[in-house]
């Protein structure tokens, strides 16, 4: 009887853990940029991914731009620096300027 409880607990733990892990992967694949920014930043409504990458050499520059220059319609994003930095990474902006 005791064994069965242990077994059941282990099973639950494993499947629960696996579901958390696979959720993580799913979230990684669904890029934040395409979910949260690309609809406006498509190169027509607003500057696109490539344009931003050219304009802002580092994550810090990019983050500052979102917080200071971002359109009022982006206000909802401006209290989440962590998110902005993540998105900067996603679209390939380096953390520090390349020393070529
Ligand atoms: C509702 C539409 C909308 C959404 C969503 C949006 N933006 Fe913007 N954003 C704009 C507009 C409009 C501008 C100003 C026009 C421009 O610069 O092309 C702007 C400007 C910016 C700028 C300043 C560009 C510059 O140099 O002038 C940055 C950086 C930026 N957005 C980043 C982001 C990021 C990152 C996201 C997603 C987390 C995002 N935006 C989501 C509409 C949007």
pLDDT at 7 over 70: no
Domain ranges of the chain: 1-30, 31-100
Q: What confidence score (pLDDT) does residue 9 get?
A: 58
- pLDDT tens digits for range 21-75: 445 554 454 589 999 999 999 999 999 999 999 999 999 999 999 999 989 989 9
Q: Both tokens of residue 98?
A: 């390349």
Q: Both tokens of residue 21?
A: 């892990």
Of the pLDDT bands very low, low, confident and very high (cuts 50, 70, 90), residue 15 is low
- pTM of the entire predicted model: 0.74
Rounded Cα–Cα distance for residues 66 and 71 (Å) = 8
- With a Cβ cut-off of 6 Å, ligand 1 is lined by 36-37, 39-41, 46-47, 52, 55, 62, 65-66, 69-71, 73-74, 77, 84, 87
Q: What is the DSSP string of 35-53?
A: HHTTTT-SSSSS--HHHHH
Query: Contact at 8 Å (CB) between 59 and 94?
Result: yes
pLDDT at 10 over 50: yes
């Amino acid at each position: 009887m005791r064994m069965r409880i242990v077994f059941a607990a282990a099973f639950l733990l494993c499947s629960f853990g696996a579901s958390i892990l696979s959720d993580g992967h799913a979230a990684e694949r669904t890029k934040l940029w395409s979910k949260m920014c690309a609809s406006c930043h498509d190169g027509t409504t607003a500057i696109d991914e490539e344009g931003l990458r050219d304009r802002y050499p580092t994550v810090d520059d990019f983050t500052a731009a979102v917080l200071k220059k971002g359109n009022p319609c982006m206000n909802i994003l401006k209290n989440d620096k962590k998110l902005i930095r993540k998105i900067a990474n996603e679209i390939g902006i380096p953390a520090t300027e390349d020393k070529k």
